[in-house]
């Protein structure tokens, strides 16, 4: 027996599965056998006592999980950080453990209330005492880690747990003697795995598979060369033997029903102290301020969710709930992240939600020079569709040309500094690009609830049938179209060839003639099929009136292309009297500009089609500028392309028979985009009818 090594255990006299606070307990309430539990616990106690001294804390009735002494607290030397259990079901254990520690002469530290930490279940010392691995994500809050670092004067490495089954660090992670580590990598997020790999060299990492992991192989007690656990596969035993460890298996199945095994049932009271190493926690914290219709728009949930999903944790320091529907709410939130990199990632997402740093924490945006044309500095801030401001020389300036997926370039002009969105490929040598996340804020339209476009343009929640939904969208789009036309606004239509195949061409023509369309964007195909129909009455060889393939029809679209090529282009064909009807004919006649962007599969192409894609993007961009509304009709490629260059505030309507396309486009996190899944020909015909209704005299409308 090595008396210098001590553990704490608690006999299972009151052990049972009484409630469910982890996935193992589900379906196991009162299913464990008392006798077996006692027998299994005794066996473990026996093994432990042969190699170390084991102290006992008195079990208490009503606290069945007290057997899991790993969760009593975390001990280093004569100091203990007492657990603060997340679940009420276990909080009653705290005073009993505290009493025991105090009686033994330990200095007891207690975390602030509501800052959960579950002791050695979530905090494991490197066996050489070089640092402390601390888990978070389920039972322990990240913000507890800095307290532990300080009280125990040790370096804390934070690891984020991702799999509910491995809710405590000790269920999937076990530092072993000589710098070895037994663990289940899939229980951790990517950052944590990287951190583990940085600290533990590959030859010392013993990764277990899922089968061993669910047998609690990582929930092991390591005493020198011994590794005591519930069960291990032969393979694992061999691997451990290969590096000098002897596995002692002792069945603990009754305790697995509560989500614990060997390690959980013990608390090591003697940990190696390295006096030359000191407190350090890479954890970073920042306080942010959010204002607006935080509840109504779900912004506060979004913000808190993305902090947690991003690997951080939060503390809401203040929340002022607006009293009335119009009143705004505000929140002060402390964000913590395990390291700087994670913090920057979380911060950039929060900025996009409109969060700002507190006034005394605000500083200028960081700039870095471009050193290679068309290549930005690595740490560039990537832009969103939302109006954005950057802080330069203490002043906030608005970024021009806002679009998503760009960078912000700050330049000095005679009128002072200015900021622009630019694509990566467009940055020039020596230009100053905004990097990091400091001094950037995005302005979400949250100020006036009544004036936000969402009010008039957003949609009806669940419970609306899809037919009714189409009708509602048509009503709203019709209303917008009419308003915009009368106000001299700008509507851009992005259309795919399906518009022609589904017979939507005639309706689109009505919109063009009616003055509702200010620009038409699409690919080579929509123009080819429109022209084929106009010249030959077929669309891709299908007779549009009879719906049947025409003999030799497959040549039709090539003939159409050839004809237009002979004329030199679409406007020329109209001028020469060759093209006398159709969507593109109407565009030319009604002076509605169009832009065609090419792709790899294009036949021809038409002389009008831009085959240089950078030029095509620039031309689309020119047409999208100043748009009030964009109607996207059945084209994924061109719609997404347009979506990418469109800033927030422009209303987007996406119509497609394929729900995936609609979701992709209407899900830009923007209140102004709506999608409707329906046949585009049908949609256009309903829209034209609606516009007719809207322009009829009132008596006729009400008579209908
Ligand atoms: N039923 C207990 C709980 O969910 C099991 C604790 C296991 N302990 C541990 N250190 N993993 O809290």
SS (H, E, C) 233-281: CHHHHHHHHHCCCEEEECCCHHHHCCCCCCCCCCEECCCCCCCCCCCEE
Nearest atom in ligand 1 to the alpha carbon of residue 120 is: 10
pTM over 0.75, yes/no: no
The response to whether residue 171 sits with its C-beta less than 6 Å from ligand 1 reads yes
The response to whether residue 665 sits with its C-beta less than 6 Å from ligand 1 reads no
Nearest atom in ligand 1 to the alpha carbon of residue 68 is: 8
The mean of the pLDDT values for the chain is 91
The response to whether residue 257 sits with its C-beta less than 6 Å from ligand 1 reads no
Cα–ligand 1 centroid distance for 109 (angstroms): 21
Cα–ligand 1 centroid distance for 90 (angstroms): 10
pLDDT value for 465: 59
Of 174, 218, 264, 654, the active-site residue reads 264
pLDDT value for 445: 59
pLDDT value for 670: 52
Mean pLDDT of all residues in 189-213 = 95
pLDDT value for 551: 78
d(CA 699, CA 703): 6
The structure tokens listed for 482 are: 């009419």
Residue 297 DSSP code: T
Report whether pLDDT(447) > 60.
no
Helix axes 340-352, 299-309, angle to 10 degrees: 160
Name the one residue in this structure whose structure tokens are 């500094």.
417
Report whether pLDDT(2) > 90.
no
Is 554 catalytic? The answer is no
Nearest atom in ligand 1 to the alpha carbon of residue 263 is: 10
**In 3-state terms, what secondary structure has residue 578?**
coil
- Between 487 and 466, name the one with better pLDDT: 487
Which of 134, 260, 262 gets mutated to test ligand 1 (max ligand atoms within 8 A of its CB)?
A: 260
pLDDT above 70 as % of the chain = 94
d(CA 88, CA 85): 7
Cβ neighbour number for residue 322 with a 10 Å cutoff: 17
Report whether pLDDT(458) > 50.
no
Report whether pLDDT(660) > 80.
yes
CATH code for 2-273? 3.75.10.10
Break the chain into its structural domains and give their ranges.
Answer: 2-273, 284-442, 463-703
pLDDT value for 358: 84
| Architecture label for domain 284-442 | Beta Barrel (2.40)
Q: Are 326 and 450 in contact (CB under 8 A)?
A: yes
Report whether pLDDT(668) > 90.
no
Cα–ligand 1 centroid distance for 204 (angstroms): 27
Nearest atom in ligand 1 to the alpha carbon of residue 259 is: 5
Report whether pLDDT(63) > 70.
yes
Among candidate residues 431, 442, 293, the one with its CA nearest the CA of residue 357 = 442
Q: How far is CA 126 from the centre of its chain?
A: 32
**In 3-state terms, what secondary structure has residue 410?**
strand
Say which residues have a Cβ less than 8 Å from residue 548's Cβ, sequence separation at least 6: 542
Nearest atom in ligand 1 to the alpha carbon of residue 167 is: 11
The response to whether residue 168 sits with its C-beta less than 6 Å from ligand 1 reads yes
The response to whether residue 647 sits with its C-beta less than 6 Å from ligand 1 reads no
Q: Are 74 and 246 in contact (CB under 8 A)?
A: no
Cα–ligand 1 centroid distance for 160 (angstroms): 17
The response to whether residue 22 sits with its C-beta less than 6 Å from ligand 1 reads yes
Is 421 catalytic? The answer is no
Please state whether beta strands 246-249 and 432-435 pair in parallel, antiparallel, or not at all (unpaired). Answer: unpaired
Report whether pLDDT(109) > 60.
yes
Which of 24, 41, 68, 139 gets mutated to test ligand 1 (max ligand atoms within 8 A of its CB)?
A: 68
The H or E element that residue 583 is part of is helix 583-589
Q: Name the band, by pLDDT with cuts 50, 70 and 90, for residue 461.
A: very low
Per-residue pLDDT of 468-477, as tens digits, reads: 788 889 999 9
Cα–ligand 1 centroid distance for 422 (angstroms): 52
Angle at 184 between CA 182 and CA 187, to 5 degrees: 140
Q: Are 162 and 187 in contact (CB under 8 A)?
A: yes
Q: Is the peptide bond preceding residue 44 cis, with omega within 30 degrees of 0?
A: no
Least confident of 19-33, 197-211, 419-433, 542-556: 542-556
Least confident of 221-235, 498-512, 573-587, 668-682: 668-682
Q: Are 305 and 353 in contact (CB under 8 A)?
A: no
Handedness of CA 560, 566, 567, 571 (dihedral sign): positive
Tell me which residue has its CA closest to atom 9 in ligand 1: 264
Residue 379 DSSP code: T
Q: At 54, give phi and psi (nearest 5°).
A: -120, 120
The response to whether residue 16 sits with its C-beta less than 6 Å from ligand 1 reads no
The response to whether residue 408 sits with its C-beta less than 6 Å from ligand 1 reads no
Nearest atom in ligand 1 to the alpha carbon of residue 17 is: 1
Return the CATH fold of 463-703: Rossmann fold (3.40.50)
Mean pLDDT of all residues in 315-330 = 86
The structure tokens listed for 33 are: 């056998």
The response to whether residue 93 sits with its C-beta less than 6 Å from ligand 1 reads no
Of 145, 168, 556, 623, the active-site residue reads 168
Question: Do the domains spanning 284-442 and 463-703 agree at the CATH topology level?
Answer: no
**3 state SS for 616-659:** HHHHHHHHHCCCCEEEEECCHHHHHHHHHHCCCCCEEEEEECCH
**In 3-state terms, what secondary structure has residue 321?**
coil
Report whether pLDDT(431) > 80.
yes
Mean pLDDT of all residues in 355-368 = 89
Per-residue pLDDT of 336-351, as tens digits, reads: 999 988 999 999 889 8
d(CA 570, CA 568): 7
Cα–ligand 1 centroid distance for 30 (angstroms): 16
pLDDT value for 281: 81
Cα–ligand 1 centroid distance for 564 (angstroms): 75
pLDDT value for 697: 62
Report whether pLDDT(303) > 80.
yes
The H or E element that residue 173 is part of is strand 173-175
The response to whether residue 439 sits with its C-beta less than 6 Å from ligand 1 reads no
Tell me which residue has its CA closest to atom 8 in ligand 1: 264
Report whether pLDDT(396) > 70.
yes
Cα–ligand 1 centroid distance for 620 (angstroms): 59
Nearest atom in ligand 1 to the alpha carbon of residue 89 is: 12
The response to whether residue 68 sits with its C-beta less than 6 Å from ligand 1 reads yes
Tell me which residue has its CA closest to atom 6 in ligand 1: 260
């Amino acid at each position: 027996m090595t008396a210098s090594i001590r553990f704490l255990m608690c006999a299972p006299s009151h052990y049972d599965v009484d409630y469910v606070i982890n996935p193992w307990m589900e379906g196991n309430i009162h299913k464990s056998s008392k006798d077996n539990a006692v027998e299994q616990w005794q066996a473990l106690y026996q093994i432990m006592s042969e190699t170390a001294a084991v102290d006992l804390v008195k079990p208490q009735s009503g606290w069945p999980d007290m057997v899991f002494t790993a969760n009593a607290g975390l001990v280093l030397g004569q100091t203990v950080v007492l657990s603060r259990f997340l679940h009420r079901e276990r909080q009653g254990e705290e005073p009993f453990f505290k009493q025991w520690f105090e009686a033994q002469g330990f200095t007891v530290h207690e975390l602030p209330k509501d800052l959960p930490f579950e002791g050695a279940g979530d905090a494991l010392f490197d066996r050489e005492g070089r640092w402390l691995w601390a888990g978070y994500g389920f039972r322990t809050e990240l913000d507890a880690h800095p307290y532990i670092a300080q009280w125990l004067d040790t370096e804390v490495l934070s690891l984020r747990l991702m799999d509910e089954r491995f809710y405590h660090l000790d269920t999937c992670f076990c530092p072993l003697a000589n710098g070895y580590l037994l663990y289940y990598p899939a229980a951790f997020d990517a950052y944590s795995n990287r951190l583990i790999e940085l600290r533990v060299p590959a030859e010392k990492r013993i990764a277990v598979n899922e089968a061993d992991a669910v047998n609690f192989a990582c929930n092991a007690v390591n005493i020198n060369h011994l590794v005591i656990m519930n069960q291990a596969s032969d393979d694992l035993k061999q691997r451990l033997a290969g590096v000098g460890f002897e596995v002692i298996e002792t069945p603990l199945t009754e305790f697995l029903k509560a989500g614990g095994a060997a390690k959980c049932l013990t608390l090591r009271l003697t940990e190696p102290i390295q006096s030359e190493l000191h407190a350090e926690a890479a954890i970073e914290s920042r306080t942010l301020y959010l204002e607006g219709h935080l509840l109504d728009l779900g912004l506060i949930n979004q913000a808190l969710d993305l902090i947690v999903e991003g690997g951080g944790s939060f503390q809401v320091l203040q929340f002022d709930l607006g009293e009335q529907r119009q009143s705004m709410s505000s929140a002060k939130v402390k964000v913590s992240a395990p390291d700087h990199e994670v913090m920057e990632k979380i911060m950039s997402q929060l900025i996009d939600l409109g969060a700002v740093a507190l006034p005394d924490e605000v500083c200028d945006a960081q700039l870095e020079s471009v050193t290679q044309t068309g290549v930005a500095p690595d740490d560039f801030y990537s832009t969103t569709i939302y109006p954005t401001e950057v802080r330069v020389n203490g002043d906030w300036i608005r970024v021009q040309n806002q679009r998503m997926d760009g960078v912000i370039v700050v330049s000095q002009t005679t009128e002072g500094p200015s900021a622009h969105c630019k694509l990566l490929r467009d940055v020039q040598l020596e230009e100053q690009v905004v990097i990091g996340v400091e001094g950037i804020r995005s302005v979400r339209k949250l100020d006036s609830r009544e004036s936000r476009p969402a009010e008039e343009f957003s949609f009806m929640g669940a419970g609306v049938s899809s037919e009714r939904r189409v009708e509602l969208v048509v009503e709203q789009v019709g209303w917008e179209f009419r308003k915009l036309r009368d106000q001299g606004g700008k509507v851009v239509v992005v259309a795919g060839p399906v518009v022609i195949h589904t017979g939507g061409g005639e309706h689109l023509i009505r919109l063009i003639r009616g003055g509702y369309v200010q620009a038409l964007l699409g690919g080579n195909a929509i123009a080819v099929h429109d022209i084929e129909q106009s010249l030959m009455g077929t669309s891709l060889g299908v007779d549009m009136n009879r719906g049947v393939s025409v003999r030799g029809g497959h040549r039709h679209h090539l003939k159409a292309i050839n004809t237009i090529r002979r004329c030199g282009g679409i406007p020329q064909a109209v001028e020469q009297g060759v093209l006398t009807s159709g969507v593109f004919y109407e565009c030319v006649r009604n002076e509605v500009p169009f832009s065609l962007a090419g792709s790899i599969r294009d036949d021809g192409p038409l002389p009008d089609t831009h085959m240089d894609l950078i030029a095509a993007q620039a031309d689309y961009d020119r047409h999208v500028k100043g748009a009030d509304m964009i109607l996207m009709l059945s084209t994924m490629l061109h719609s997404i392309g347009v979506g990418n260059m469109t800033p927030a505030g422009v209303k987007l309507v996406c119509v497609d028979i394929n729900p995936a396309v609609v979701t992709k486009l209407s899900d830009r996190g923007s209140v102004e985009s709506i999608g409707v899944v329906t046949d585009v020909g049908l949609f256009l015909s309903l829209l034209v009818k609606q516009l007719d209704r809207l322009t009829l005299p009132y008596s006729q409308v009400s008579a209908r």
